[in-house]
Structure 1
């Protein structure tokens, strides 16, 4: 009897050990670890207070690196972006006989992301905790080392590509000079910050032929007479701000996404760190990937395609912002309608036209709809960690439309910036969908 019990115990231990040895496989098969890496990257971007355009760059390159590993994984469905993205060259990586491509994708993501942020140790600590979890789940040493090596090779290729996008050169470009023209943008309270990224149109886009390829309709001509259209648009913003419903306020706060929010108490001024608009949509892409049950390869595709749309959307939008350099509603209303009026949201430090959230939300929603379909009900919990309740949407388009109108409720945009921003986002998204292909079946369809 004792012998039977002893043998049963041995069998249980062996079974348990086998399960432990295989635990890493399940962890790596899903896209969860890649989602968690993206979530950590968002935390670091918020901590380091990167501007919305710069944040879009930080999201894009690590996601592209992870996706390029997915292309190598022996799945014939996926098509490399190298050779398709502007300025990129096709990559020829050696085959890895004994490696985990999903871990290699994570390694590529971590390496690129770490190079693009200030708080490198935060990303490194998260990476090491992830690696430890895989080792604890029984990942063989050789398999682990080979996978990391492959990921770092791919990462180096993407970092070399990123290094030629003119970003580093733009750090030494001249600052924006405020113009005396009364219709142009001026810094707003409480911080009166200088114009952010006035030369972002000189950053290399991923798919657009140029930053000014898709110009929106011209903004309404500046006027101060009460009978003018511009005066009417400004008064519309002011009146809406005075009569906001609770739901409209909730919408405005949910999509605020302003990493520059400054708080003033007496003589003390401090920043309230929040997610960027692009970070919000990367968060939605992560939520959608999990909701759809995507594996790590499809998750990497979703994050790469979404971030490319965000990046090019910011370039197109910022090109227009510093061409029209239009005055913000807060400045206009205080000068010509009501000197005491304040918008619900703090006015961001860059020109008004077009609405950045309208452009990039529309572009990202089109990317996600093409990948995951419509309708796609989801609970957007992206802002919960910033003290806001989650919101439900039936589709990505519905979420993008709410994000766009939120800028009107917030008092930081006139309606033309929103409406024409949505149209600009559509044009950017349509161009990218025609220019870039990530699946071979879509490549065949596009040729037909």
Structure 2
């Protein structure tokens, strides 16, 4: 019996010693972790109420950093070197041994995202949880991968800080021209200043300039019956009247609400005013990117590639669109209708605080749909559940182009855009998308 106990103790000691000498496990980074990081950033931007253009910038830089790290060992994708404006190669480690590139990419994504948002603590909670887990799994691999990630972060941040964003923070507010009836005026209920009037000064990622895909001009402002502008104005008014006959049950109203994506919606209750927080247009398409990646079981490289290309297209689409918005400076339907047709009319959606032409949703949706079609193919059926957190049901689409067309026309149903802004905006966005797709043909 004594000998048996001795043997048992020996086995226990040997087991303990063996476990102490057991090699640390490799840290596995799944596509789900990248989706988690992106989702966290979206939720924080909703909380912080980022404007749609600024939100597009927040998506692009972290994805680019992650992509450039990951493709160093890729057999499928090439680097962005020589593609992006003023972008120089990221630092390369002397020896990749001991560095987990997928881990470095995820760390870079979270760290750069944290530098671009306001509520940093909300992403720090996620980081701390993951970092503690990775330290337990393999502290050496974690530390080496993190050190390399921070080398890349420093490089990306130096490039990022030269895109004129900081300079535009000090530029003057947009001046409203009240003497010209065709010019944009702030709209109810908050009558906010026009947001980001200097966004066309932001350095594009791929475009030669903000003006590269300048759309054709909108119909000349006119209240003369029979004029093109008047026809488009009355279309907004009449469509609104028609689709509200049956209350909130019409398909058109459902479409308008599904694609609202307005982070600036204000609600008044007596003497109180508060904002209902919603996703931005770009974030909705980033959500669709996630849906497509999950449906195709995309691996980490493929997931990061999809996010990166789509976010670059969205960012450049906003620069292109905002360049036109504050050049044409066109008045919104709500203002014209209230002043000249029906003082009590209200659009179904709240009018966002910037000029009308072209439609931001149309431009961004057009650009994103081209990139996603290029990556995942045409006739890609998907169920869009992006708006479920905001109390809206799933909508089904037979292709990305189908979704972009619906997103564009939703602005007419919502009563916030004329037909020209929708159609020309969608065309403008697709031109941006085709340009980005051609420049970012990175498959090996």
C-alpha deviations, 1:293-346, integer Å up to 9, x for none?
111111111101000000000000000000100010101111111111100000
- Cα distance in 1 for partners of 2:188, 2:159 equals 39
Aligned residue among 250, 254, 257 for 1:253 = 257
> Any conservation in 2 of the 1:81–1:437 contact (CA below 8 Å)?
no
Name the SS for the 1:392 alignment partner.
Answer: strand
> Any conservation in 1 of the 2:90–2:156 contact (CA below 8 Å)?
no
Give the aligned partner of residue 445 of structure 1.
none
Query: Is 1:361 the counterpart of 2:361 in the alignment?
Result: no
What's the CA shift for 1:254?
Answer: 0.7
Q: Which runs of 5+ in 1 are unaligned?
A: 441-448
Give the aligned partner of residue 321 of structure 1.
325
> Any conservation in 2 of the 1:85–1:436 contact (CA below 8 Å)?
no
Give the aligned partner of residue 51 of structure 1.
51
Q: What TM-score do the two structures reach when normalised by structure 1? A: 0.91
- Cα distance in 1 for partners of 2:313, 2:81 equals 16
C-alpha deviations, 1:35-63, integer Å up to 9, x for none?
10000000111111110000000010001
Give the aligned partner of residue 246 of structure 2.
none
Query: Is 1:172 the counterpart of 2:170 in the alignment?
Result: yes
> Any conservation in 2 of the 1:206–1:312 contact (CA below 8 Å)?
yes
- Cα distance in 1 for partners of 2:189, 2:437 equals 41
What's the CA shift for 1:91?
Answer: 2.7
- Cα distance in 2 for partners of 1:159, 1:82 equals 16
Give the aligned partner of residue 443 of structure 1.
none
Aligned residue among 394, 409, 433 for 2:437 = 433
Give the aligned partner of residue 129 of structure 1.
129
Name the SS for the 1:45 alignment partner.
Answer: helix
Alignment of 1:26-425 (within 5 A): 26=28, 28=29, 30-72=30-72, 74-94=73-93, 95-135=95-135, 139-179=137-177, 180-244=179-243, 246-425=250-429
C-alpha deviations, 1:224-243, integer Å up to 9, x for none?
12232211111100111111
C-alpha deviations, 1:232-258, integer Å up to 9, x for none?
111100111111162111111111000
1:36–1:182: structure 2 CA closer, same or farther, 3 Å change rule?
Answer: same
Aligned length: 426
> Any conservation in 2 of the 1:24–1:134 contact (CA below 8 Å)?
no
> Any conservation in 1 of the 2:99–2:141 contact (CA below 8 Å)?
yes
- Cα distance in 2 for partners of 1:24, 1:411 equals 54
Name the SS for the 1:140 alignment partner.
Answer: helix
- Cα distance in 2 for partners of 1:237, 1:134 equals 55
- Cα distance in 1 for partners of 2:106, 2:23 equals 20
- Cα distance in 2 for partners of 1:241, 1:156 equals 51
- Cα distance in 2 for partners of 1:318, 1:381 equals 28
Name the SS for the 2:267 alignment partner.
Answer: strand
What's the CA shift for 1:437?
Answer: 3.1
> Superposition RMSD on alpha carbons, in Å?
2.2
Name the SS for the 1:269 alignment partner.
Answer: strand
Name the SS for the 2:137 alignment partner.
Answer: coil
What's the CA shift for 1:436?
Answer: 2.6
> Any conservation in 2 of the 1:41–1:113 contact (CA below 8 Å)?
yes
> Any conservation in 1 of the 2:65–2:153 contact (CA below 8 Å)?
yes
Report the more deviating stretch, 79-88 or 301-310. 79-88
Name the SS for the 1:303 alignment partner.
Answer: helix
- Cα distance in 1 for partners of 2:44, 2:363 equals 24
Q: Which runs of 5+ in 2 are unaligned?
A: 244-248
> Any conservation in 1 of the 2:24–2:138 contact (CA below 8 Å)?
no
Q: What TM-score do the two structures reach when normalised by structure 2? A: 0.92
